[in-house]
Structure 1
C-alpha cells in the first residue's frame, strides 16, 4: 500500500495506523531521506537543495522505496511514494488538505511560526514537483493513479481514518486478499 500527499495532510498518521491495524510493516520515504541526510552530514533542507541538481539522491531513495514495496506486506508513506510504486502497490491513497490547514497543522505540531512553516513548505512542495517532473516526467498534481483521494480538512482524524480503512479493506477483498484485521 502506498499513502502519498503533501506535508501536513495526515499521510503519516493514516499510513502508520493502517499498518498497525492491518498487521503490515510501515516505512516512510521521509525516514529514508533523513537517513541519507544524516549519512552525508547535512540537514534535510540542504539535502533537498542538493537533490534539486543531483538526481542520484532521489534515485537512491526511490530504489530503496521500490525494494520495500516489492517485498509486499507493507504500507509505505511519502510525498511521492505512490508514483514510485504505481506498478507495484495494490492500494494507492492520496490524502490532502488546503495549504492553510496544512500550514497550521505543521506549525502546531512543530511549535514553529506560521510564516516560517509557510515559506519552507511551499519551497519544499515546489522542489518535489519540479524534481519529479524533471526526473520522471510525472506531474504530481495529476492524481489519476490513486484509488482513493481524501481531503482531510473537513473531517476529524477518526472520520478520515474510517473512510480510508473501510475503502482499503474493501478494495483488498475485491482483489482477493484476505486480511483478518479487515473483518473486525
Structure 2
C-alpha cells in the first residue's frame, strides 16, 4: 500500500447500525489510509466456533477454537477480503447465525486478547507502510488504540440503526424484518455494553457524533473537518504508540 495523507490512527467506535463500516472504509479511501474492520475478525472466530460445534457460551471451548484459527484480513479499504484458512468467508460472517452468536464469543477474554495482539500487528504494519489507518469496532479508542490521533464515537437511535441494518440485509440478499432487526440491535447493545472484557463505551476523549439524521456524506464531512482541525494530514501523529 502506498503512502497516503493520514498520519496515525483514527479510531471509529460505536454500536451496530451507526454506519461505522461504510464511513470507515470511505474515510480511509479518501485519506489514502489503511482500514481495519475488527468486527469482521470477531465474526470470523465466531464462524469457526459454530463450525466446530462449540457452544458460544462455553468460554474454555471457545478459547481453544480461537487459538487455532487461521484468520487473515485485508487492510485495503477498496478490496476487502476476510479469510478463514484459504476460504473467503466475507459473506458468511454477516449471516444470522454468526450475528446471533458473535456477542457471546466476543465477550470471551482469551478471544479478545488473541485478536488484540493480531490487531496491534496489523496496525503497526500499515502505519509503517502507508502512515495511517482507520480502525473501526467497539473498543478501539479504549483498548486497541488508546493513543489514537482521533477517536470518534458514532451513535444513532435504535430505530435509525434498525432501519439501516434492514436495508443492508435486503441489499445483500438476507431476509429480515424491521422489528426483528431492532430487537437484535438492542440485544447486541446490551450484551456488548455489559461484558466484562473491553465493553462497548466511548473513550473519555472521543468526539461524539450522532448519525441519526445524517447521511454518509454528512458524517464524512464532519470527521474530515476534525481531521483538518487537528492537522492530521501529512504530519506525524502525537505522542503514543502510533
TM-score (norm 1): 0.81
1:130 counterpart residue number:
194
CA 1:130–1:121 in 2, change beyond 3 Å: closer, same or farther? same
Secondary structure at 2:197 match in 1:
helix
Among 155, 159, 162, which residue is 1:96 paired with? 155
* Cα offset, 1:162, TM superposition: 0.8
How well do the aligned residues superpose, as a CA RMSD in angstroms?
2.4
CA 1:172–1:84 in 2, change beyond 3 Å: closer, same or farther? farther
* Cα offset, 1:117, TM superposition: 0.8
* Number of matched pairs: 172
Alpha-carbon distance in 2 for matches of 1:31, 1:139: 16
- CA deviations on 1:29-78 (whole Å, 9 max, x unpaired) are 111112212333274222432444x3212222223223333442211111
Large movers: runs of 4+ above 6 Å: none
* Cα offset, 1:120, TM superposition: 1.4
* Cα offset, 1:174, TM superposition: 9.1
TM-score (norm 2): 0.63
Among 187, 196, 204, which residue is 1:144 paired with? 204
Among 114, 137, 157, which residue is 1:60 paired with? 114
CA 1:56–1:74 in 2, change beyond 3 Å: closer, same or farther? same
* Cα offset, 1:155, TM superposition: 2.1
Stretches of structure 1 lacking an aligned partner (at least 5 in a row):
179-184
Structure 1 position 34 matched with structure 2 position 34: no
Kept after mapping to 1: 8 A contact 2:158/2:185: no
Kept after mapping to 1: 8 A contact 2:35/2:135: yes
Kept after mapping to 2: 8 A contact 1:5/1:94: yes
